[in-house]
Structure 1
Amino acid sequence: MEIAIRNELIDTYYSAVDDADFDRMLTAFTEDVEYLYPGEEPMHGHGAVRTFFEERRKTKNTTHDVFRRVHDDTATVCEGTITGQMGEDSLDGAYVGVFEFDDDAGRISYVGVYTRL
């Protein structure tokens, strides 16, 4: 998959997360997406990912700023900062997101999130 398309999908994901627009977020993913997040069991598919974001995600009102992207033949790694809220407290942290893609579907098939919150 072209790097420009990968970046567009990743930007859609982060923007939709920050806007709490989970319908738009899921458009960037394959139906059987695998999603890994610290402290959570691995999630598979749109339903599991939506449930996490709507019911269990501890961060709210976030802004993700990607400042580094590294691409290889099958994956893209993004490094960035995140601000927002965690409960009643303000959030100022860092993250790395690992993305793999399904070329045939033109979507993200895997997301691994690693955080320092």
Structure 2
Amino acid sequence: MQTIVNPDAVRSYYDYIDAEAYEDVFALFAEDIVYERPGQPPLSGMPEFREFYLKNRPLEDGKHEIEQVVVGDDTVAVRGRFSGVQDGKRVSFGFSDFHRFDADGKITERTTYTDRDTV
């Protein structure tokens, strides 16, 4: 089964996050989503993913600036900067995200790397 890679969905992800349009965010991801990020245990499945974004996300009031998007066979990689608030303090840091797609065009794996210890 061929993977459907959608770089426009990945670009939309950052717009939706910055607008706090979380239902639009969730629509981009598969039910079996696995999300890995620095300093935290992986999130597995849509219930954990939803809870993270709706209740536990440490970043807020921010904006993502996309610097580069690279499309591979089943993955879209993004390099950029985030500026916003984390734990009540203004932050700005670089990030790289990798979004792996399934045959339905949904993001099934997401991995984030930053130049910070935890996000």
Name the TM-score, length of structure 1 as normaliser: 0.88
| 2:25 aligned residue | 25
Asked if residue 82 in structure 1 is aligned to residue 116 in structure 2, the reply is no
- Give the 4+ runs in structure 1 shifted more than 6 A: none
Give the gaps of 5 or more residues in structure 1. none
CA deviation after TM superposition for structure 1 residue 47, in Å: 1.1
- Asked which structure has the greater RCO (Cα within 8 Å, sep 6+), the reply is 2
Q: Which amino acid aligns with 1:95?
A: F
RMSD of equivalent CA atoms: 1.5
Match of 2:110 in 1: 111
Give the Å deviation of 1:91. Answer: 1.3
Q: 5 Å matches for 1:1-80?
A: 6-80=6-80
Q: Which amino acid aligns with 1:85?
A: V
Note the C-alpha offset of 1:34.
1.0
* Larger helix share, 1 or 2: 1
* Residues 68-87 of structure 1: per-residue CA shift (max 9 Å, x gap): 11222121210000011112
The two structures have a TM-score, normalised by structure 2, of 0.86
Structure 2: give runs of 5+ residues left out of the alignment. Answer: none
Q: C-alpha distance in 2, partners of 1:15/1:7? A: 13
Between the aligned residues of both structures, percent identity stands at 22
User: Which residue is equivalent to 1:98?
Assistant: 98
